[in-house]
Structure 1
Amino acid sequence: MKQKIEKDSFFKSVGVILSGTVFAQAVTLFVAPFITRLYSPSEFGLFAVYISVMAIIVVLGSLRYEMAILLPRKRRDAYSILILCFLIAMPISILVFAVLSYLSFSSLQISAYFLFLPFAFFATVGCQILTKWQLREKKFHRIAVSRVAQSSLTAAVQLSFFKGGPLGLIAAHFLGQVIQFIILKKNAVFARDVFRENKKKLEEVAFRYRRFPLFDTSYAVFFAAGQQSPTVLLGLMFGPSAAGLYALSERVLSAPLNVIGGAVGSVFFSHVSDSTSVLERNQMILNVYTKMFYLSLMPAVIIFLFGEEVFGYVFGEAWIEAGKIATYLVPFFVSQFVVSPLITIFAVLEEQKAAAFLQGAIFFARIIVLILGSMFWSLETVVVMFSVVSVIGAILQLCFIFWRCKIPPLLVLFNHIKIALVFLLLLVFFEFTNYWIFGNV
């Protein structure tokens, strides 16, 4: 009975966050066909490079201490970590501003646009910190509302200021982060507490959870850089248009990852942190893993078979090449969709060092493929090789999680066989349907 109640609570919590995230992503996807017709691949590519740089450096914002907010049993300790996060974020934001003042991005003609980055950096870091606090407080509704507001305002500004080119896209992103920060901050942290918190208490929690800045930060940097490096390097090697094409395909494929994976991952972290038995934890891992795989199959097969047609029809003829890139990226995003919610188990098990090592290996493998590929291969070949390396990395992460949690290998293998059979049946069905409809045309 207890397990059933906890399971119902888990999926109810997922549902609350998921509802807001689904609506937020629905707004983004709804305006996407208009955005792709108002902005060229080159303009979208410049914006994508900006977002990629932001995504890489933002993980340094609080040195990953925000991940520790959910762990203490005492609320007072968690609040001290919350204060610590903001005390770290403020000087790092100033440092980002100082560094960007001296760096030149003239090769991509985006130096002027990066003036927004330090301010957007602090707002984004603040949202990450406050989201973890609201998760601890079980304020799932507030998280959902903040995501809807962020997505809606971003879309409205992007559509209204399209004549500004990349600047319109960047300004919209910044304003969206600001409104999300304001909503999440309500009843969470007070400015007066930031500078009045007991110094000894801050030192105590900082030392207790020192593994996060020491190991989890490097893991997060490797992960973010591995995810975002294609956009930056493809922009450098093949031009802003290539970055834009890749970014759109990545944006479409990552939508389910952001909607479902993000919601499940957040609630999974919250619940697995509270789990009291190994059996309960492992059952939760297997349930999430299997269900995420099943959820990914249908959209994966559709994009794999009809990617170019879908992208050309929805986003316009200028973006057909993005559909081809999307088909190559399908295996990569399926693996990420399945693995991403489970990654938080590293923090719960305090295996940040192993997580950093695995993610570092994946990162360097991706970078080698991207750099060497850009020198000797075509854009399509580089994307294929990047996808293959990423899938191998995701499999290694899964194997480590199952091994560390002592989940029986035969049980995992049985799940894989079932999933593979369902995937093959879907593939055969869609191939047969495609031939039956278009084969005699």
Structure 2
Amino acid sequence: MNKIKSLTKSRFIKNVMIMVTGTAAAQAVSMVLSPIITRLYGPEAYGIMGTFMALLTVILPLAALTYPIAIVLPKKDAEAKELIRLSIYVSVIIAVFAAIMISLFDNFIAKLFGLNGLEVLLFLIPISILFSGLLQVTEQWLIRTKQFKITAKVTFLHALISQGGLVGLGFLYPYASILIITQSLREGIKFILMLLSAKNIRGLFKKKGKYNLKQLAKKYYDFPVFRAPEVFLNGLSQSLPILMLTSLFGPASAGFYTICKTVLNLPTQLIGKSVGDVFYPKIAEAANNKEDLGSLILRATMLLAIIGVVPFAIIIIAGPWLFSFVFGPEWLTAGEYARWIAIWSFFGFINRPSVRALPVLSAQAFQLKYTIFMLLVRSIMLFIGYFVFLDDVVAVALFGVSGGLLNVGLILITLRISKKRNEPVNSK
């Protein structure tokens, strides 16, 4: 009983619950409106949108070369604020570079990814990059300053505006281009909402501090050198099925995968991201205090496993029926996909503490190497499904099962790294 009382009074649990409440409200909006959206647009439009968003999934994490992730780490706020300025400068440079590349190669890019006729929409990419950089620094500052209520509130409002907009526009213009435009501007809408809601945050984008940006960039070099390539490859790994399904099986298959991944991301966004966002500053603080990080990672991982086992098991057992019932008969195949992707998603859901711990453990070089290995394995599985079995469901099944096993490996290795880190401390 005392343990339960202390758990309910825990600041960590309270912060998680704040984040979960906002995310739950946002996911409730998405769940209510998704059946309407899928019926308005259909699998093919979803597939084209999924292909475009797959490009953004690869590019947007690189918007500021992952420098924003470092904002939580410094002991002094002044240094964290200068990291914000550095991140914004990097985002502007990358956005300008992207705009130049698209101006030169827009036709080639559109043809390569099956976006013929939508070349002009590619110019949304540099806009999204800039907004993503601004959003990343804002989110990390709110995490650092523990303004979790603001994040929760904005998450709900953002879902209401973006999903509601899709429904309203879908009745008038149910085209893939509308899906692409609204999804591309999501980062910008969320940034603006945070800017309007957070305390004293607008001043962060104006003040110039005493730190030398070149020295600061060098101090946190492991983020652009190791973390940025890792998030790029991880994004590529996430987008790989959509891009390959589009080229191998057609846009409808990509649409099935897109909707099933969207549904399976609900628990991850609802609980996993909330725990990860609260866990990150906690484990950074624990590392500074020389605490046992392994037990902290393990407890958070087991908590997520207990929470996630039931919803993911339901998808594995009854995925086809659920998708057909909720989204319409034409989405039955998406339910078959979901059965297998749920295995990957479950272990991706419970590995959030490990992923958040790796920068604190100074293990970003390992994370980059492991992500390369994961990308190779997943790519091979998709090719085997196509060239050996000639079946999209088998390809997705191989991809999902291999992804689950690889995430288990990541958790185990992270725990081993944390144990080694604690050995000198425990021996004293």
Structure-2 residue corresponding to 1:88 = 90
Q: Which residue of 395, 399, 412 maps to 1:382?
A: 395
Q: Does 1:314 align with 2:326?
A: yes
What does 1:233-248 correspond to in 2, within 5 Å?
Answer: 233-248=244-259
Q: Which residue of 180, 185, 205 maps to 2:216?
A: 205
Structure-1 residue corresponding to 2:347 = 335
Matched residues in 1 for 2:43 and 2:76: separation?
Answer: 50
Matched residues in 1 for 2:381 and 2:414: separation?
Answer: 26
On the 8 A contact 2:230/2:371 being kept in 1, the answer is: yes
- 1:209 is displaced (CA, Å) by 0.8
- Structure 1 residue runs without a partner (length 5+): 409-441
Q: Does 1:224 align with 2:226?
A: no
Matched residues in 1 for 2:9 and 2:356: separation?
Answer: 18
On the 8 A contact 2:298/2:415 being kept in 1, the answer is: no
Helix, strand or coil for the counterpart of 2:402?
helix
Counterpart residue identity of residue 333, structure 2 = E
Matched residues in 2 for 1:123 and 1:152: separation?
Answer: 19
Counterpart residue identity of residue 255, structure 1 = L
Structure-2 residue corresponding to 1:57 = 59
TM (norm. structure 2) is 0.90
- 1:390 is displaced (CA, Å) by 0.9
Counterpart residue identity of residue 113, structure 1 = L
Matched positions, count? 405
Structure-1 residue corresponding to 2:426 = none
Q: Which residue of 17, 23, 26 maps to 1:24?
A: 26
Structure-1 residue corresponding to 2:424 = none
What does 1:248-259 correspond to in 2, within 5 Å?
Answer: 248-259=259-270
- Cα RMSD for the two superposed structures: 2.2
- 1:290 is displaced (CA, Å) by 0.6
- 1:98-145 Cα shifts (integer Å, max 9, x gaps): 222223313333433323222122212321221001111111111112
On the 8 A contact 1:63/1:217 being kept in 2, the answer is: yes
Q: Does 1:260 align with 2:271?
A: yes
- Structure 1 stretch displaced more, 327-336 or 95-104: 95-104
Matched residues in 2 for 1:78 and 1:125: separation?
Answer: 15
Q: Does 1:401 align with 2:418?
A: no
What does 1:41-440 correspond to in 2, within 5 Å?
Answer: 41-101=43-103, 102-104=105-107, 105-106=110-111, 107-109=114-116, 110-162=118-170, 163-185=173-195, 186=198, 187-190=200-203, 193=206, 196-198=208-210, 201-275=212-286, 276-277=288-289, 279-377=291-389, 378-406=391-419
- Structure 1 stretch displaced more, 295-304 or 351-360: 295-304
- 1:376 is displaced (CA, Å) by 3.3
On the 8 A contact 1:61/1:89 being kept in 2, the answer is: yes
Helix, strand or coil for the counterpart of 2:419?
coil
- 1:192 is displaced (CA, Å) by 6.3
Counterpart residue identity of residue 368, structure 1 = I
On the 8 A contact 1:282/1:407 being kept in 2, the answer is: no
Matched residues in 1 for 2:209 and 2:102: separation?
Answer: 31
On the 8 A contact 1:335/1:394 being kept in 2, the answer is: yes
- 1:48-85 Cα shifts (integer Å, max 9, x gaps): 11111101111111111111101100110000001100
- Structure 1 stretch displaced more, 40-49 or 271-280: 271-280
Counterpart residue identity of residue 222, structure 1 = L
On the 8 A contact 1:93/1:121 being kept in 2, the answer is: yes
Matched residues in 2 for 1:7 and 1:333: separation?
Answer: 30
- Structure 1 stretch displaced more, 66-75 or 385-394: 385-394
- Structure 1 stretch displaced more, 82-91 or 165-174: 165-174
Matched residues in 2 for 1:192 and 1:339: separation?
Answer: 33
Helix, strand or coil for the counterpart of 1:39?
helix
- Structure 1 stretch displaced more, 279-288 or 184-193: 184-193
- Structure 2 residue runs without a partner (length 5+): 422-428
- 1:388 is displaced (CA, Å) by 2.0
Counterpart residue identity of residue 324, structure 1 = E
- 1:279 is displaced (CA, Å) by 4.6
- Structure 1 stretch displaced more, 150-159 or 106-115: 106-115
Helix, strand or coil for the counterpart of 2:146?
coil
Helix, strand or coil for the counterpart of 1:66?
helix
- 1:281 is displaced (CA, Å) by 2.7
Matched residues in 2 for 1:235 and 1:331: separation?
Answer: 22
On the 8 A contact 1:153/1:175 being kept in 2, the answer is: no
- 1:150 is displaced (CA, Å) by 1.5
Helix, strand or coil for the counterpart of 1:332?
helix
- 1:292-330 Cα shifts (integer Å, max 9, x gaps): 111111112211111111111100001011011111212
Give the 3 Å change call, closer, same or farther, for CA 370–125 of structure 1 in structure 2: farther
Report % sequence identity.
24
Counterpart residue identity of residue 60, structure 1 = L
Matched residues in 2 for 1:6 and 1:212: separation?
Answer: 35
- 1:407 is displaced (CA, Å) by 8.2
- Structure 1 stretch displaced more, 73-82 or 372-381: 372-381
TM (norm. structure 1) is 0.87
- 1:360 is displaced (CA, Å) by 1.0
